[in-house]
Amino acid sequence: MSLIAITREVSPGINDCELSYHGREPIDVAKAIAQHKAYQDCLTELGLQVVALPAEPELPDSVFVEDPAIVLDEVAVIMRMGARSRRPEASSLVNALAPYRSLEFLTEPATMDGGDVLRVGRSIFVGLSRRTNREGVSQLSKLLQGHGYTVTAVEVKGCLHFKSACSYIGNQTMLVSRSWLTAEQLAGFDLLDVPGQESSAANVLRINETIVMPASFPRTRALLEKRGFQVHPVNVSELQKAEAGVTCCSLIFKSDLPLA
* pLDDT tens string 36-72: 999 999 999 999 999 999 999 999 999 999 999 999 9
Instruction: Return the active site residues.
Output: 161, 248
3-state helix, strand, coil in the chain (%, to 5): 30, 30, 40
97 φ/ψ sector (left φ>0, alpha ψ -120 to 50, else beta): alpha
Does residue 259 register a pLDDT over 80? Answer: no
Q: Cα 212–214–216 angle (5° rounding)?
A: 150
Q: What is the predicted pLDDT for the residue at 183? A: 87
Q: Which domains does the chain have, with CATH numbers?
A: 2-9+27-255 (3.75.10.10)
Reported as a pLDDT band with limits 50, 70 and 90, residue 257 is confident
DSSP 11: P
Q: Where are the alpha helices (DSSP H) in the chain?
A: 29-45, 90-97, 134-144, 162-165, 218-226, 237-240
Prior bond of 88 cis (ω within 30°): no
Q: What is the predicted pLDDT for the residue at 96? A: 96
Q: Record the pTM.
A: 0.96
DSSP 258: P
> What 3-state class would DSSP assign to 246?
coil
